[in-house]
Amino acid sequence: MDKDTCIIFDFDGTLYPIIGFDSEQLLIHCLAQEADEAYRSEAERFIADDQAGCFLLEDFHLRYAALARRATPSHIDEVARRLAGLLDTRDREALARLKEESGADFVILSCGTENLAEAFLDHLGIRDLFSAIRAKRLIFTDGGEATVRVDIHTPEAKRRAVEELRDRYTTIVACGDGPTDIPMLEAADLGLVIDWSGSNESGPFETHTTLPSLCSAIETYLARAREA
Ligand SMILES: [Mg+2]
């Protein structure tokens, strides 16, 4: 057991399968349910554009920040509860076991929303496995509108965040699910992909279709690295 290993996870599509909406789309969808017609149609357009891959990341964040202004902690909690329901006991146990066996620090680097990732981990009872979450944060003020503070928001920012961790860790493993993770996967010693759909398209990174399989591949890699 050593503390010189860091295991990095992307959030959306990596720690849970995207079924219909990712976490930010689901938040805006939930807000739309209790909003007026103008907001609802703006929200629908936003989600459709995002799903169609129409956004440059800066445009996405600006529109997300505008729509998320009316979010509250209870909306965050509702979204997180629904997403946590997509995982089962084996997924939770696989992450807990990997943490136990590896002694590694777990970090989330995401272009999504920190509050949603935190609340998701809370619902699963595994927040204490993770030592840091870096993404965008919704800031709530009493009686005011939520604002967005951006930390990590681009694929290159994820790569830089991995490089910053080099000072602290000798071994870095990164797990992601999509094109925005590629710079982060390239910057790690081992980059792995999770494809919850099981379509198993071959890409440049070893691909797994479940969290338990992903976690055991990391354990095997770290065990070999320790022996070497
Ligand atoms: Mg993702």
Domain final residue pick, 81, 98, 131? 81
Q: How many angstroms is it from 13 CA to the middle of ligand 1?
A: 4
Residue 65 has pLDDT above 70, yes or no: yes
Q: Which residues surround ligand 1, an ion (CB under 5 A)?
A: 10, 12-13, 177-178
Query: What 3-state DSSP class applies to 173?
Result: strand
Using the predicted structure, report yes or no on whether residue 200 has a pLDDT greater than 90: no
- The pLDDT, as a whole number, for residue 56 is 82
Whether residue 113 is predicted with pLDDT greater than 90 in this model: the reply is yes
Question: Cβ(103)–Cβ(3) under 8 Å?
Answer: yes
pLDDT of 3: 60
- Per the prediction, the chain carries an average pLDDT of 94
Residue 108, SS3 per DSSP: strand
Whether the pLDDT of residue 25 is over 50: the answer is: yes
In the chain, the percentage of residues whose pLDDT exceeds 90 is 87
- Distance of alpha carbon 193 from alpha carbon 174, whole angstroms: 9
What residue ranges in the chain does DSSP mark as E strands? 5-9, 105-113, 130-139, 147-150, 171-176, 190-194, 206-208
Q: Which domain holds residue 39?
A: 23-81
If you measure from the C-alpha of residue 178 to the centroid of ligand 1, how many angstroms do you get, rounded to a whole number? 5
| Residues 53-58, mean pLDDT to the nearest whole number | 82
117 CA distance to ligand 1 middle (Å): 12
Indicate if 95 and 195 belong to the same structural domain. Answer: yes
Domain count, the chain: 2
Question: 181 with 132, same domain?
Answer: yes
pTM score > 0.85 for this model? yes
74: number of Cβ within 10 Å = 9
Percent of the chain beyond pLDDT 70? Answer: 98
Do 108 and 187 belong to one domain? yes
